[in-house]
Structure 1
Amino acid sequence: MSSGRDNNLNLMRLVAAALVALSHSYLIVNGEGSSQPLADLTGFTLGYHAVNIFFVVSGFLVIRSWHRSSSLTHFGAARAIRILPALIVCVVMTALMVLPFASSLSLWAYFTSPQTMAYVPLTASLVTPDALLPGVFETNPVPFEINGSLWTLRYEIVCYAALAVLGMLGVFSTRLKMLVVFAVLSAPLIVLSFMPTLFADITPAQHLVRFGLCFGLGVLAHELRDTIPLHWTGVAALFASAVVAHGTAAFPLALYVFVAYTSLWVAFIPEGPVRKFNQFGDISYGLYIYAFPIQQLLIYQLPALEPLELFVATLAITIPVATVSWLWIEQPMLTHKDAIYGVLRRALKLSPARA
């Protein structure tokens, strides 16, 4: 596994974002409790597996960001610059420019509602992903839900913070130290993953187990990238182990390992024309944060849409929106992130040593 940019990671993340949108299409058309792709086969929805891919890839990339950062605040600023600007624009656009016209309230009542006033700061800051907008989507099969994708971002930030703490403690300074700490930290998570009745996929504790393991597997893969062989036989063997473990308490863990290994195999092994996708940039984040409100708006306007029809319509609208987000917001911020960090450091009067 190379640590450079000649890989399929952007394509991998885009496919994962599209799979989340596909899974949500069934939810948004049929409502809570409806059947979704892979749910009957694996016990988990397609979106569940796709988000796991995101966390594996994120762990692989964010540890690289840690190694390249000159300080803790440099790392924190880089992570904030990647997450927040596009999120803030998305939240403002949906709440103040688009969804007022999907509300049952008058524009005056909508904009003067305390819910509207609170939505942008609460959602953009990730204080809560569940803030409501007055009268919006109240008749949809999934009523009142504005953006059902944003809740995972809080766990992403928790993973960033945990990685930063471990980095400050010098855990990544030697491979032996990292392996020992990873074993110690992952042991309780692995034990908890064997307790599905206590940690169903509805509690913060279960989410931390799930996302912590997936993110940690990505970090571990990066740190051991020169020793981990990637081969289709590995994919087949881990798939077989997941099949054997199906129906047992070991299944979630077997599934996480299979998804992690397969994601990295897809990201690094296929070559040729597929690598040219990197020329188009990374629109996966934009697709992820915009798709759900666009899907809700589509089903609000066109309630007869079937799940696959909704999915196709969602991609047709969201991919251009995500492309604009990448070209006008995300890419410029990433290009100038060091300069932005310098401005922030001077504004906070932090010396390079303290920063």
Structure 2
Amino acid sequence: MSQLKYESRENSFGFLRLLFASLVILSHTPEIYDGNRNREILTNIFGSISFGELAVDGFFLISGYLISASYLKTQSPVSFLKKRIFRIYPAFAASYLICDLVVAPLGGGDVAVTPQHVLSLAARILLLQPPMSTTAFHGTYYPDLNGAMWTIPYEFRCYLLILALGLLGFFNRKRVILITAISFLVLSCIIPEHYHPFGYEAALAQTQAHSFWDRIFNLTVGEPRSTIRFVGVFLCGSTYQIYKDRISFDKKWTAAFSAAALVTFLFEPRTANLAVAIFGGYLVIAISNLGKQYVTCKINSENDISYGVYLYAWPAAKLILWYRPDMNIVLVGMLTLISAVIMGTVSWHLLEKPIMHKIQRKAPSNPAVIA
């Protein structure tokens, strides 16, 4: 078995993350444009999940793999938590403020910077909740300021889960993590369908009778089915990490089998998520392990703009369609991608990269595993 390349910059994780961010744009563009999935490519092919859902699962697989490695290599729980906070919050907060103070008024919304608004804004950023506006993009499909942000709190909760598992000593009991991952993946296949693709606000709008404690549960734990799904996928990535020395990721026949199994199970909605986690997870790690001779190891490697692309694509698409609702859908997607890449590049160089460098200088760690 070849040495895994995650130990250095000679991997394709950056390429995969940028690919997944681009697939989210490919998926969201027709949904925002039409208000449905009638023109969503992957849904039309398999009748199960969209490119957006597949891409988000891909993000969680990579995070599970790398964040587990980060925990195992970090000297203290405090250092681990600090790195995770500074990786997620600064870019999220900046995007939130831009959506609230710039995108909302450009989208026809009202912005009243009152003490109450500021307190609400601070609380929502702290809880990693998407920005809200009841007036922006009025009359359009999915009038959210940033409908893609809903997955961010789930990812951060998975970081906290890794910290908890580590403190409880479960990384020394690999089977516990393996069994937990499988259990959550199986649960995600069998529990009733109650999935809201554009987040907490959409779910809450349909359940206004929720009690105070129900709301607290949703804010801290999340929508149950989404939580089960993401924890299962994330821990699948963690499982691949802790068993990496016993799995060959460079076997072509295994990759071919995984690809065939993935395609087969994608035709069944209830097994699609499990297939993406297990078989897609193997393919993700196998692709990431490609050597430096492959161009994928150079794309988005030194400067990872994928987080910013993910954060800014939705508001870019909404603004484009707000001002040009009759624009060709392909052009909308292309302009969204270009805008998101520009904003992602700015976010990386002005915010994310400088902060990461400061954290690394204070607490030396392998940059390849700071996801």
TM norm. shorter chain > 0.5: yes
Q: Which residue of 1 aligns with 2:125?
A: 124
CA contact (8 A) 1:55 1:218 kept: yes
Over 3 Å counting, the alpha-carbon distance change for 1:104 and 1:190 in structure 2 is closer
Equivalent residue in structure 2 for 1:307, among 324, 329, 338:
329
Name the structure 1 match of 2:216. Answer: none
Partners of 1:29 and 1:135 in 2: CA distance: 19
Match of 2:354 among 332, 349, 355: 332
* Match of residue 239 from structure 1: 259
Note closer, same or farther for the CA distance 1:67–1:247 as it changes in structure 2 (3 Å cut). closer
1:319 aligns to 2:344 (yes or no): no
What are the superposed Cα offsets for residues 64-97 of structure 1, whole Å, 9 maximum, x if unpaired?
2112222212111100000001111111122113
Question: Which amino acid is 2:352 matched to?
Answer: E
Shift of 1:63: 1.0
User: Which runs of structure 2 are paired with 1:147-296 in the superposition (5 Å)?
Assistant: 147-173=146-172, 177-178=173-174, 180-195=175-190, 198-202=192-196, 204-230=223-249, 231-245=251-265, 246-247=267-268, 249-269=270-290, 271-272=292-293, 274=295, 275-278=297-300, 280-296=302-318
Counterpart position of 2:65 = 60
Q: Is the 2:182–2:232 contact (alpha carbons within 8 Å) kept by the matching residues of 1?
A: no
Which residue does 1:351 correspond to in 2? Answer: none
Where 1:336 maps in the other structure, the secondary structure is helix
Secondary structure of the residue aligned to 2:127 is coil
Please say if 1:99 is aligned against 2:104: yes
1:83–1:256 distance in 2 versus 1, CA, 3 Å: same
Task: Give distance in 1, aligned partners of 2:227 and 2:275.
Answer: 17
- Aligned partner of 2:95 in structure 1 is 90
Question: Structure 1 residue 124: deviation in Å?
Answer: 2.1
Q: Which runs of 5+ in 2 are unaligned?
A: 197-202, 204-222, 365-371
1:125-175 residue CA offsets vs partner (Å, 9 max, x unmatched) = 23532x4224211122222x11111111111011111111110112223xx
Deviation at 1:122, TM superposition (A): 4.0
Structure 1 outlier segments of 4+, above 6 Å: none
- Unpaired runs of at least 5, structure 1: 343-355
The AA in structure 2 aligned to 1:201 is Y
Aligned positions of 1:34-73 closer than 5 A: 34-42=38-46, 43-73=48-78
Where 2:244 maps in the other structure, the secondary structure is coil
Alpha-carbon separation, structure 2, partners of 1:116 and 1:297: 23
> Is the 1:91–1:123 contact (alpha carbons within 8 Å) kept by the matching residues of 2?
no
TM-score, normalization by structure 2: 0.82
Pairwise CA RMSD:
2.4
CA contact (8 A) 1:290 1:322 kept: yes
Q: 1:85 to 1:104 in 2, by over 3 A?
A: closer
Deviates more, 1:234-243 or 1:7-16: 234-243
* Equivalent residues, number: 331
> 2 CA distance for matches of 1:113 and 1:220?
47
AA aligned to 1:218 is: G
Superposed displacement of residue 259, structure 1: 1.5
Question: Secondary structure at the residue paired with 2:298?
Answer: helix
Could you tell me how far 1:332 is from its partner in structure 2?
A: 0.5
Q: Using the TM superposition, give the Cα deviation of residue 279 of structure 1 relative to its aligned residue in structure 2, in angstroms.
A: 5.3
Equivalent pair of 1:77/1:341 in contact (CA under 8 Å): no
- TM-score under structure 1 length normalisation: 0.85
Stretch of structure 1 that moved more, 96-105 or 321-330:
96-105
Farther-moved stretch of structure 1 (54-63 vs 65-74): 65-74
CA distance in 2 between partners of 1:24 and 1:88 (Å):
22
The aligned amino acid for 1:125 is: L
- Contact 2:104 2:145 (8 Å CA) reproduced: no
In the other structure, the counterpart of 1:137 is 137
Change (3 A) 1:287 1:123: farther
Contact residue 116 and residue 134 of structure 1 kept, 8 A: no
1:21 to 21, 25, 35: 25
Aligned counterparts of 1:229 and 1:340: Cα–Cα separation in 2: 35
Change (3 A) 1:10 1:236: same
